[in-house]
Amino acid sequence: MPCISFTGHLRRYLPVATVEVAGDTVGAALSALFEREPRLRGYVLDDQGEIRRHVAIFVGGERRALAHPVKPEDHIYVLQALSGG
Amino acid sequence: MSDRILAGTRKGLFDLRRRAGGWDVEKVHFLGDPVTAVLNDAGTLHAALDLGHFGVKLWASRDDGASWEERPAPLYPPQPEGAEEPYPWKLKTVWTIEPGLVPGVLWAGTIPGGLFRSADDGRSWELVRELWDHPGRKKWMGGGAEQPGLHSVSVDPRNPARIAIGVSTGGVWHTEDGGRSWELGAKGMYAEYMPPENRYDEIAQDAHRIARCAAAPDHLWCQHHNGVFRSEDGGRTWTEVTSMQPSKFGFAVAVHPRDPKTAWFVPAVKDETRVPVDGKLVVARTRDGGATVEVMREGLPQRHAYDLVWRHALDVDATGERLAMGSTSGGVWISEDSGESWRELPARLPPVSCLRFA
């Protein structure tokens, strides 16, 4: 299963750790995690269900969208974009 | 008199108390996080945080700040596909949280302009669609911020269904039925920054802040972008106060809770620079409905002071004697004689965005 890690900044607010979750896209993997930790959704996604403007998601060394496919061996990094200041 | 002030700042929520030795910081909550709105309502403390990267979060405490629980922030509904919208339906800031004067009811004013209502003490929120869907809403513009901001929710204590709201920039709006229908009502205000033909356009008015007299609720005051206005008919029509000193620009206004003719302002040089006139921080007070204005400076910095007091950072307590204000430079001043003299809090806070007696 893909693995998800979070910026240490987010761990100030939520008890998030690196976890394995089922999902064949970035969005599906995140959705599976939101079921376990409902508060997390509002920290990563905005009102319209899009990745927050100042959050960046990386897979395979590139910034990715929610629809990006992930393989079981992939590692998804949820980071703060430097645009947030 | 109130012996407690809650100050929301760029770097946390500061709980200030008056003890035998005077005012001081009692406790700091959310250190490092921007706090944009704060309220103590019926024993519950509410704080709105803007986490930047991670969005707006609301926290509440039912034990006076000993512990906090996160509660859902207002969420805009799905934005219709293809509809022409001036800005996305996404919450940027909770700019004010106000008690609805009905048990459990709270109002939240936001950027980009949505008004949200909670009927369960902030455990859930619903966008007031009747205002959001009003054709006039799409004509709102940004003021100091990029997108419009709903900063004032003024509930009539005689009838909590009667509410006036203020928008930067979108004028003053009124409901008589708890939010089911809305009317624009900013007659008499004028906008110097608009072309001559739009000068009296009520929707173009940048009402910076609106405050109501609790004991005489038809009396409202407004610090507007280009002047001070007052209303004696619940905010439907407005008259300019032309006696303002030392300038007519500012953000904040506080109204005496019992005397509708007494109000306080913190004037500044207008929008080009937004600093106190001549680098001297002063408070302007009228006690005769605006016929005359006194400028008070005792205890306030009078040399190279560049403190600006934002629209939510001036408050008066229930007695009308005690006032407090916080500035963009982190200064907090408290007056215990109706604004005539001020004492500085013995601490420099982060920039103060909001402050109120609790």
The domain ranges of chain B are 4-357
Touching check for A48 and chain B: CB below 8 Å? Answer: yes
Instruction: Give the pLDDT confidence of B270-328 residue by residue, as tens digits.
Output: 877 888 999 999 999 999 999 999 999 999 999 999 999 999 999 999 999 999 999 99
Q: Look-up: residue for tokens 């004037």? A: B267
Transcribe A33-67 into DSSP letters. HHHH-TTHHHHHB-TTSSBPTTEEEEETTEE--TT
Instruction: Give the pLDDT confidence of B73-100 residue by residue, as tens digits.
Output: 999 999 999 888 899 999 999 999 999 9
Interatomic CA distance for residues A19 and B90, integer angstroms: 29
Amino acid A84: pLDDT: 47
Q: Which residues of B touch A8 (CB under 8 A)?
A: none
Amino acid B82: pLDDT: 85
CB B283 within 8 A of CB B299: no
Determine the average pLDDT of the residues in B59-75.
97
Determine the average pLDDT of the residues in B40-58.
95
Amino acid B146: pLDDT: 86
Closest partner residue to B70 among A9, A10, A39, by Cβ?
A: A39
Chain mean pLDDT for chain B: 96
Interatomic CA distance for residues B133 and B130, integer angstroms: 5
Residues 6+ apart with CB under 8 A from A84: A53, A54, B52, B53
Which of B11, B30, B49, B53 should we substitute to test contact with A (largest number of A Cβ atoms within 10 Å)? B53
Q: Which residues of B touch A46 (CB under 8 A)?
A: 55, 90-91
Give the model's confidence band at A83: pLDDT under 50 very low, under 70 low, under 90 confident, else very high. low
Instruction: Give the pLDDT confidence of B111-147 residue by residue, as tens digits.
Output: 999 999 999 999 999 999 999 999 999 999 987 788 9
Give the model's confidence band at A85: pLDDT under 50 very low, under 70 low, under 90 confident, else very high. very low
- Beta bridge partners, B141, equal none
A27 membership: H or E segment, kind and range: helix A26-36
Determine the average pLDDT of the residues in B171-200.
95
Amino acid A35: pLDDT: 95
Decide if pLDDT at B69 tops 70. Answer: yes
CATH fold group of domain B4-357: Methylamine Dehydrogenase; Chain H (2.130.10)
Amino acid B236: pLDDT: 95
Instruction: Give the pLDDT confidence of B15-34 residue by residue, as tens digits.
Output: 999 999 899 999 999 999 99
Q: Which residues of B touch A15 (CB under 8 A)?
A: none
Q: How many residue pairs from chains A and B have C-beta atoms closer than 8 A?
A: 46
Question: Percentage of residues in chain B with pLDDT exceeding 90?
Answer: 93
> What CATH architecture applies to the domain A3-84?
Roll (3.10)
